[in-house]
Amino acid sequence: MNVENAGDTLALSGTQTLDSTTDALRRLWAQLSRRRRRQFFGLLVLMSFGAIAEAATLGALLPFLAKITDPDSIGQSWIGRQLQGFGSASSSDSLLPLLSLFSVVVVIAGVVRILLSRATHAFVFSLGHEIAVRVYKRALYQPYSYHLSN
* Distance from C-alpha of 71 to C-alpha of 91, rounded to nearest angstrom: 6
Burial class (CB in 10 A: 0-12, 13-18, 19+), 80: buried
∠14-19-25 over CA atoms, to 5°?
100
Instruction: Please tell me the pTM assigned to this model.
Output: 0.67
Low-confidence ranges of the chain (pLDDT < 50): 1-9, 12-15, 89
Q: pLDDT (tens digit, 9 = 90+) per residue, 40-55?
A: 999 999 999 999 999 9
